[in-house]
């Protein structure tokens, strides 16, 4: 077997509407609604499916918990513009910019939290 790409991942959240607002308004993702009113966030060729805590869909992870994710997103928007956008929207930058090692190349990153406390890293390729 050879895995070639991540198609989607699932975030368990406390409030789906609050998460939809954050990820669309702050991070520019596209809201997608599919079967049964389920919600997802599309960006590039990937998506994040949202599950409501204690109302998760089967099958599910053993311990789906809001705030347990640590995700890194790449952007081609310069980090100083990302930082200004975050500040304008009252989103605290936890750390950065700092140099990190990405999957394929060095990256420059800033860190923030989403409404559930998931750690989000926004990065530019170096």
Given a contact cutoff of 8 angstroms between Cβ atoms, the answer to whether 97 and 108 are in contact is: yes
95 is catalytic: no
Q: What is the pLDDT of residue 36?
A: 87
Among 58, 92, 95, 121, the active-site one is: 121
CA torsion sign, 110 to 41 to 90 to 115? negative
The SS3 assignment for 62 reads coil
* Two tokens, residue 7: 């198609």
The SS3 assignment for 87 reads helix
Please tell me the pTM assigned to this model. Answer: 0.95
Per-residue confidence in pLDDT tens, the chain, 126 aa: 999 999 999 999 999 999 999 999 999 999 999 988 999 999 999 999 999 999 998 899 999 999 999 999 999 999 999 999 999 999 999 999 999 999 999 999 999 999 999 999 999 999
What domains does the chain contain, in order, with CATH numbers? 8-125 (3.10.180.10)
Given a contact cutoff of 8 angstroms between Cβ atoms, the answer to whether 25 and 17 are in contact is: no
């Amino acid at each position: 077997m050879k895995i070639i790409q991540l198609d989607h991942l699932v975030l368990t959240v406390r409030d789906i509407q609050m998460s939809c607002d954050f990820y669309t308004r702050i991070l520019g993702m596209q809201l997608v609604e599919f079967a049964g009113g389920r919600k997802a966030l599309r960006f590039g060729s990937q998506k994040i499916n949202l599950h409501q805590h204690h109302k998760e869909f089967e099958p599910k992870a053993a311990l789906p918990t809001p705030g347990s994710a640590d995700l890194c997103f790449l952007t081609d928007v310069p980090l100083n513009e990302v930082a200004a956008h975050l500040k304008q929207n009252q989103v605290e930058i936890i750390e950065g910019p700092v140099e990190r090692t990405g999957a394929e190349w060095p990256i420059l990153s800033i860190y923030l939290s989403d409404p559930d406390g998931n750690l989000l890293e926004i990065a530019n390729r170096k």
